[in-house]
Structure 1
Amino acid sequence: MWGTIRWISSKLFALSILSIFLLIGFIIYLKGQPLPDQDIAYTTKIYSRDHQIIDNLHTEENRVHVPLEDISTHIVQATVAIEDQHFYQHFGVDVKGVLRAIYINFQNQSRSQGGSTITQQLAKNLYLTHEKTWERKFYELILTAQLELHYSKSYILEKYLNQIYYGHGCYGVEAASQRYFGKSASELTLAESTLLAGVPKGPSYYSPFLNYDNAMKRQKLVLHRMVENGYISQQEMDDALTSELVFHKPNVQTASALYFRDYVIAELVKLGYQEDQLRMQGLEITTTLNLGMQQTAAALIDEQLSKFEDLQAALVTVNPENGDILAMVGGRDYKESPYNRVLAKRQAGSTFKPFVYLAALDSGLSPVSKLKSEAARFTYDNGRQSYTPRNFNDFYFNDDITFLKALAVSDNVVAVKTNLMVRPSLVKETAQTLGIQSYLQEEPSLALGAFPVSPMEMTVAYGTIASQGIRIEPRAILEIRDRRGKLLYASETQQQHVHDPETLYILTDMMRSVFEPDGTGFRVKDLLPFDVAGKTGTTDTDAWMIGFTPDNVTSVWVGYDRDRFISRSESYQATPIWANYMAQVSGTTVPVMGHPTSVGESSTVTEPVITKQHYKQFPIPKGVAPLEICLDTGELAPANGSCTRTRTVFFVPGTEPVQ
């Protein structure tokens, strides 16, 4: 008998040694085997220039990766306490938890209890389906062992917190933190952390947006577990339970920026990114957009056009100093129509006239050069075709008027005469030099903007005028970083000197007259207490207002999408949108300190700090000469003061009047 026992014991001992060797060998084998490829999609974020979120680009999963050190300790501890309190003690499998789950499942004849550790859940989420079968469970245990062998506990926890689903389309703690509380995961409080940590158990059942009471009960359980595991004190738990939770409301104010978002995506594609991959790479894209200016533009368009149901509008602002697109409103409602009208080509009307007068200035003419304003018919193409422009309300001065006045009052006949005098080919070349890329025909109607161009093109061209000859390509993207913060791309200003500054400054000064008495923009002058130049424009189907300061070029277009004629009242809407917008976004606020005021013998008080707006002035090039001109005659103002309407006008030396 004893011999039998010794034989059995020796066999068991040998079997144990063999098992140990097999286990060691299996562990070595697993450690040497690579884990399956992970196909994890991370959300790409698009930010404004001051790092406010514009939109998230993602596939089915909204996920933003953050390193463990950028996640609040509260959420880390709360997650461990509620999901896997022995996380730091086991090697991937909590044996007691597994045995408990097996017992309960056996009793209930089901597989409702998982008993999964954090590592097991990560293995399942990364590599497996969510079906509950014994085969899938076996593979889960193998992969769990591999994860524990390949990675540290900190790495596993980081991967888990960036992988788990928190409901409402949010994968990972950063996306969840932004969705629920509008803040980064690094900023979560204890109360916020314990609520979030309870959600993954049942993302809908424990969502505070869908089932508030369930979420609060779950939060209390998480806090209890944290106390039991020594992470927090009873007092900290009580304080967390009485803390007010302020949930985040999605920012609907950025809805108008979705046109700009689409523009950014198109620019990214030009840089070589594939659109489908953009939604998976977790990039951080900082753009040029000024969100305050964007929201101001959208609000003003909504307000101004509230009485016009189908009338559409577009607005774009570019900084002429660096090409930054500061605002872009492509329409009144992106959801209704994502078509970006900033890029749509429409007839420019009289906003094209500055190119005509610049060609004239470059040809040796001046602001006080004169042509007759009269009803006229023009023939071209060797007499085979004719063109008869009409002035607004068929009003003509029937006299010679200066280019300065013709531009201010938007005289069509004088513009066409000027176009033909300097040659349409030169006007076309001038427009293209400034930034117009659309097809233009060398015809009399070119002077009146008969050939379609986009608001973006016109903004670039007017920007070249504002910068006195430096044509700058508009840019929407400042930099691109990967999900770990590595810089992938930083944009540089693309600029080219295309024109001398002298005649461009003279043209700018002529365009100031649009806001002077008799000018087509004079009605909004009171809104513009700064140096500004611009031009109005209308066609049968379009209304335009384009203008600029030294650091802001803004174009506004108003009309219908399908070439429907606009009424007289509808044609008046572009200018007030533009003027009110420019009034709100122009200039910088400068503090002005009050002077110390004596109070008694030893004390002083400082008067309240006041502020004022500082506005830039257009710089005057050295190669221009100012002269005082009589507006009634277009000649030098008499020294005896007999002319009551005078104005300083600038000339290239040699083009000024002699009398």
Structure 2
Amino acid sequence: MASRRERQRRRRRSKNGAGLFILLGFGVTSAILAIVALSLVGYVVSIANSAPDITELKPLDQGQNSVVYAADGTPLGVIQSDVLRTEIPSTSIPQVMKDATVAIEDQRFYQHKGVDFEGVIRAGIKNLESHGSKVQGGSTLTMQLIKNLYSQDRKRDYKRKIREAKLAEELENIHPGRAGKTWILTKYLNSVPYGTVGGQNVYGVQAAARVYFNKRASQLTLPEAATLAGLPQAPSQYNPYFNRAAALKRRDEVLKKMLDLGYIDATQYSDAYDTPIQLHKSKYYQSRREQYFFDYVKDQLIKKYGKKTVRQGGLKVYTTLDFHMQQLARAAIKKNLGQPGDPSAALVSIDPKNGHIRAMASSSAYGTSKYNLATQAERQPGSTFKMIVLMTALERGVDINRTSYVSKRLQFTDPKYGKIDVNTDDGRPSNAPKSLFNAVVTSDNTVFQQLDLDLGPPEVTKTARAMGITSRMDSYPAEALGGLTRCCTPLEMTRAYVTINSGGYRTRAVSITGVRFPDGHVDTSLGRPGRVKVFTDGMTSEAIKAMEANVQRGTGTRAALGFCTAAGKTGTTSGFKDAWFNGMTPNLNTAVWVGFPKTNVPMLNVPGWPGEMFGGNAPAAIWHDFMTSAVDRKNCGSFPKPTEPFVAKPFSGRYVSGSGGGSGSGSYDNTYTDPNAAPPAPGTGVGTGGGGTTYDPNAYASPPAATPAPTPAPPTPTQPTPDPGTGTGTGGGGASPTG
């Protein structure tokens, strides 16, 4: 038997061996853990290093709404897109919204440097306690901002978190201190998602305030701010429109957190807690002022930049529209055509100096019809088109004061254009010569039809194109009197007359002066007028004088202003289906159209306008009332004298009366056969008027001294008797216009 001492010695050796074994095991384990830790650290570092440098990243374009402004800065509306977002500065975000967001999303936001390690540990503990029922990620506001602005990776894994953490630290190093925290929080509040409403994604606190509470972010109350602050964690789950109970519970969590952290006191908490969620759905992003003009601007943007760029948003669009003039235009229309069942009206006003559209108004309600009468209503322009014929003559050098045509019933068949059947307004032509100047004043159809045939309808078409008419033209004789197949819109006719008022410059109609893009650069190319010289100012001055006389003593007297020189031309189509007045002062062009949209219903006995509706009636009155208030009286004098005086040139034609001074008739031929004229004696004719060679007094026009050939009584009219300056006309398949 071993002695007691030996047994103790063996026990000591056994204990020492076990201790060494334990110590060795601990050391090995520690070494393994250290290796694992180092490997893990290395792995984390390698993942972090795989993230790009923050300075090399360009923020993602989240998109935001494009806003359209009137000329005075008044917002006209927002262009619809899939994203509702309006970025605002920090000063427009109330402190209560900032506090609510920090409290519920990142309570140590002002202490950490982009990554909150305490928050990560706290989130891990919470996740263990909840057994996965309520997962917390531990992301800071800075990390969330990185995810929103710089990351396209939407996988929820640790690799993304590691990269976000690395970039968050770099971002905070770029934006240090309290000012940097303010920058980061502002960016976050402008980019975070707040849910989907009406199929549109709401981003940023300004859009959220509008969509949920119909107010600006700066007006948010404590309970409203707490409601919004609770949304980003689960925007669909906490959306108060779809789950009010969940939204209320989440809001109260935010309020409790704000109380715990000292952002609010007990009284504020209690008052906010007792306040129900009061939603006020807004139409801010759907409502628009001047919807027709707004749509026109949007179409111009799409033509220039493409639909994708426009829908992506972020544009600030500055337009030419004068909001005050727009109100004046509608008031003038309502004053003269304000009764139920009245015809519609459209008005377009353009600054002749630069082509800026100052007003584009109509009587139609956008909610009833989205058809823009000012830009889409292609209606026959009636006798307003005669000024295009007159400009064709002036461009050729025709002296409109000394060149005459006999005002007579025209009835013959042209081998090229077919039947020509044109009469004067009252069916009782004077059968005497009338100068082109006076034909403008009285709007004599027969004179202008003969002038058109002498000039050649294709030449009139060329002039129309030169003046900006883009609608279809067939070069028929009837087009001289406004009988076009699909023409013209009020915008088109206003632009054509701007060519006259601008001294002969075809000027592009401008609706947009500039577009500011999200990156800050401004494009002003759409604001350039694109002026092209097509006439001398001497030529246009002659036309303006004739239109002045039309307003002073002709068919357009109702448009006379008194305080300012005005010039213009009336127009009425056959059957009184369209009535126009297109006129100008030295600084403003305006055209007014009246009619029933998309129909050809005669305008008869309109309340306040008994009988037939003429261009000299409601259209001239609307023009007068609008221009009386819209024109700048201080700078409204007379039309300027031409810098290049008009020079008359010899003009020959089959119809023109010889009257001296650079105009006269050409030799007669039988291209046009007039059944009312006796056949000419061979070799007869008297050369008159600087360039005329022969003349047949029994042909299509008579000289001033000649006795007109007998004319049979006109047949019974098939159309209502037109107004002064109107009449029927046909030829070459064109529609039948009146003056």
What is the CA deviation profile of residues 173-210 of structure 1, one whole-angstrom value per residue up to 9, with x for unaligned ones?
A: 3434666899976xx36x55874464242579999999
Structure 2 counterpart of 1:318 = 350
Q: Give, in whole Å, the separation in 1 of the partners of 2:285 and 2:427.
A: 47
Q: Give, in whole Å, the separation in 1 of the partners of 2:209 and 2:315.
A: 18
Q: Give, in whole Å, the separation in 2 of the partners of 1:624 and 1:253.
A: 54
Alpha carbons 1:314, 1:558 under 8 Å: kept: yes
Q: Give, in whole Å, the separation in 2 of the partners of 1:306 and 1:139.
A: 69
Q: Give, in whole Å, the separation in 2 of the partners of 1:483 and 1:67.
A: 15
Q: Does 1:412 align with 2:445?
A: yes
Structure 1 counterpart of 2:495 = 460
Q: Give, in whole Å, the separation in 1 of the partners of 2:130 and 2:512.
A: 55
Alpha carbons 2:346, 2:362 under 8 Å: kept: yes
Q: Give, in whole Å, the separation in 1 of the partners of 2:89 and 2:638.
A: 48
Deviation at 1:425, TM superposition (A): 4.1
Structure 2 counterpart of 1:79 = 101
Residue among 90, 93, 102 paired with 2:127: 102
What is the CA deviation profile of residues 492-542 of structure 1, one whole-angstrom value per residue up to 9, with x for unaligned ones?
A: 33112221112312211221233324x33323436x632222222121432
Q: Secondary structure of the equivalent of 2:188?
A: helix
Q: Give, in whole Å, the separation in 2 of the partners of 1:32 and 1:532.
A: 74
Q: Secondary structure of the equivalent of 1:413?
A: helix
Q: Does 1:356 align with 2:389?
A: yes
Q: Secondary structure of the equivalent of 1:351?
A: helix
1:243-642 residue pairs with structure 2 within 5 A?
A: 255=288, 257-271=290-304, 273-298=305-330, 300-301=332-333, 304-309=336-341, 311-329=343-361, 332-341=364-373, 342-362=375-395, 363-367=397-401, 369-381=403-415, 385-394=418-427, 396-397=429-430, 399-451=432-484, 452-490=487-525, 491-517=527-553, 519-525=554-560, 529-539=563-573, 540=575, 541-569=577-605, 571=613, 572-587=617-632, 614-622=635-643
Q: Secondary structure of the equivalent of 2:483?
A: coil
Deviation at 1:350, TM superposition (A): 0.8
Q: Does 1:62 align with 2:98?
A: no
Structure 2 counterpart of 1:631 = none
Structure 1 counterpart of 2:168 = 148
1:123-142 residue pairs with structure 2 within 5 A?
A: 136=156, 141-142=161-162
Q: Secondary structure of the equivalent of 1:503?
A: helix
Q: Give, in whole Å, the separation in 1 of the partners of 2:471 and 2:37.
A: 79
Residue among 29, 42, 47 paired with 1:29: 47
What is the CA deviation profile of residues 50-78 of structure 1, one whole-angstrom value per residue up to 9, with x for unaligned ones?
A: 33322323432112345668866664445
Structure 1 counterpart of 2:72 = 50
Instruction: State the identity as a percent.
Output: 32
Structure 2 counterpart of 1:651 = none
Q: Give, in whole Å, the separation in 1 of the partners of 2:170 and 2:80.
A: 29
Q: Does 1:10 align with 2:31?
A: no
The number of residue pairs the alignment matches comes to: 587
Alpha carbons 1:58, 1:280 under 8 Å: kept: no
Structure 1 counterpart of 2:734 = none
Task: Tell me: CA distance 1:523–1:575, structure 2 relative to 1, closer, same or farther (3 Å).
Answer: closer
What is the CA deviation profile of residues 468-499 of structure 1, one whole-angstrom value per residue up to 9, with x for unaligned ones?
A: 11221122222222213223454433112221
Q: Secondary structure of the equivalent of 1:151?
A: helix
Q: Give, in whole Å, the separation in 2 of the partners of 1:206 and 1:46.
A: 33
Deviation at 1:422, TM superposition (A): 4.1
Alpha carbons 1:374, 1:396 under 8 Å: kept: yes
Alpha carbons 2:302, 2:310 under 8 Å: kept: no
Alpha carbons 1:42, 1:58 under 8 Å: kept: no
Alpha carbons 1:319, 1:326 under 8 Å: kept: yes
Alpha carbons 1:481, 1:488 under 8 Å: kept: yes
Task: Tell me: CA distance 1:390–1:569, structure 2 relative to 1, closer, same or farther (3 Å).
Answer: farther
What is the CA deviation profile of residues 322-348 of structure 1, one whole-angstrom value per residue up to 9, with x for unaligned ones?
A: 122223347723344333341443211
Q: Give, in whole Å, the separation in 2 of the partners of 1:212 and 1:584.
A: 52
Alpha carbons 2:350, 2:357 under 8 Å: kept: yes
The structure with higher relative contact order (CA 8 Å, sep 6+) is 2
Task: Tell me: CA distance 1:95–1:251, structure 2 relative to 1, closer, same or farther (3 Å).
Answer: closer
Deviation at 1:30, TM superposition (A): 2.3
Q: Give, in whole Å, the separation in 2 of the partners of 1:515 and 1:254.
A: 41
Q: Give, in whole Å, the separation in 2 of the partners of 1:314 and 1:256.
A: 17
Structure number with greater Rg is 2
Deviation at 1:547, TM superposition (A): 1.7
Alpha carbons 1:120, 1:140 under 8 Å: kept: no
Structure 1 counterpart of 2:188 = 160
Q: Secondary structure of the equivalent of 2:628?
A: helix
Alpha carbons 1:92, 1:120 under 8 Å: kept: no
The one-letter code matched in structure 2 to 1:460 is: R
Structure 2 counterpart of 1:638 = none
Q: Does 1:19 align with 2:41?
A: no
The one-letter code matched in structure 2 to 1:553 is: N
Deviation at 1:465, TM superposition (A): 0.7
Alpha carbons 1:65, 1:282 under 8 Å: kept: no
Q: Give, in whole Å, the separation in 1 of the partners of 2:348 and 2:629.
A: 15
Q: Which 10-residue stretch deviates more, 296-305 or 558-567?
A: 296-305
Alpha carbons 2:229, 2:254 under 8 Å: kept: no
Q: Secondary structure of the equivalent of 2:601?
A: coil
Q: TM-score, normalised by structure 2?
A: 0.66
The one-letter code matched in structure 1 to 2:451 is: T
Q: Give, in whole Å, the separation in 2 of the partners of 1:43 and 1:374.
A: 62
Task: Tell me: CA distance 1:45–1:3, structure 2 relative to 1, closer, same or farther (3 Å).
Answer: farther
Deviation at 1:258, TM superposition (A): 3.2
Task: Tell me: CA distance 1:621–1:19, structure 2 relative to 1, closer, same or farther (3 Å).
Answer: same
Alpha carbons 1:101, 1:115 under 8 Å: kept: no
Deviation at 1:388, TM superposition (A): 1.8
Q: Give, in whole Å, the separation in 2 of the partners of 1:252 and 1:158.
A: 22
Q: Which 10-residue stretch deviates more, 147-156 or 48-57?
A: 147-156
Task: Tell me: CA distance 1:255–1:57, structure 2 relative to 1, closer, same or farther (3 Å).
Answer: closer
Q: Give, in whole Å, the separation in 1 of the partners of 2:286 and 2:136.
A: 45
Q: Give, in whole Å, the separation in 2 of the partners of 1:525 and 1:181.
A: 51
Alpha carbons 2:404, 2:435 under 8 Å: kept: yes
> Which runs of 5 or more residues in structure 1 are unaligned?
589-612, 626-633, 635-653, 655-659
